[in-house]
Each structure stands twice: as structure tokens, then as C-alpha cells.
Amino acid sequence: MKYYDQLTLTELWTCALHELDTLHEEAQRTDVGLSATDTITLSRALAALRQEGPLSSSAIDSIGWIQAFLDAAIARETLGHQNVFDGKNDPELGAIGRIRSAPILSENGRGLDLLLQRFKKVLAMRDLLAARVDAELQIARLKAA
């Protein structure tokens, strides 16, 4: 996200919309085992989010639906779980980190997980956009006072 911090508000907004376009295209062409109905419904939700804008009042509904849909689809494609080490090995102190449970996903599940990670990137961009817009509004109010 460091790169996005250096963009102007307009450039950041453009990147967020472009990322939504890319995600929409990917959801339509990716063969991740979704039914035609699920693919169309997901595509419509992404298109609505893109059309209304990531900061619109209806965006929260679309975001919630997309997140829940992808989470449920990935859960259906989870074959099991495995323990993985999340950390590093320090030469002096040994292993520093923690063991976490990671899902074992089917091939379709891995494709869905990639869609989810891209969607989370859009959400991070949206959060940054919201903070920038709020900052500009607050600065404008301070200047007006």
C-alpha cells in the first residue's frame, strides 16, 4: 500500500476503479467452479460497486455481499486444514512467530482465494480513499472557519 500513499486522490480513485474492472473481468472468465447463476450474481455485484463508486452509500451492501459470497464459496472448497509456521528463524533466539491453521483448498478454492485477495486489495484502496476524502473535507472546513 505504500505505493498508493504517494498517489493523488484522483490517481488513487482511478486505480481503485481499474482494479474493480480487472476483478470483474477475472470473475467472469475464471473457471473456479461457480455455477452460471453465481458467476452472473457476483459479476452484477462487482459491476454495481464499480458503477456506484467505492464510497457510495450502497457500496457497503455490495461489499458485504461479495465478501460473504467469496468466503462461503471458499469454505465449500476447503478440503481440510494444516498447521503452518508464520514467522522467522532467528539465529540466536530460534523460531520467532506462531503456528496458525491454514486451509487446504481445492483447485477451484485457490482460484476463489485469488479473487478474494484481489477484492481485499480493493477494500484497502477504498479505506485509503475514504480517509483521503475525509481529510480533504476536514481541511476545507478548517480553512472556512
Three-state secondary-structure class, residue 93: coil
In the chain, the number of structural domains is 1
User: 145 pLDDT band (50/70/90 cuts)?
Assistant: confident
pLDDT at 16 over 60: yes
Domain presence at residue 132: yes
Distance CA 15, CA 133 (A): 15
Domain presence at residue 97: no
Helix axes 59-76, 107-144, angle to 10 degrees: 160
Domain presence at residue 52: yes
Domain presence at residue 12: yes
- pTM of this prediction exceeds 0.75: yes
Domain presence at residue 98: no
Domain presence at residue 58: yes
Predicted confidence (pLDDT) per residue in 42-61, tens digit: 999 999 999 999 999 999 99
As given in the structure block, the three cell numbers for residue 42 are: 457476483
As given in the structure block, the three cell numbers for residue 113 are: 482465494
Domain presence at residue 95: no
Predicted confidence (pLDDT) per residue in 61-105, tens digit: 999 999 999 999 999 999 999 999 888 888 888 888 899 999 999
pLDDT at 1 over 60: no
Residues spanned by the domain of 35: 2-77+105-144
Predicted confidence (pLDDT) per residue in 103-144, tens digit: 999 999 999 999 999 999 999 999 999 999 999 999 999 998
Domain presence at residue 100: no
Cβ(104)–Cβ(81) under 8 Å?
yes
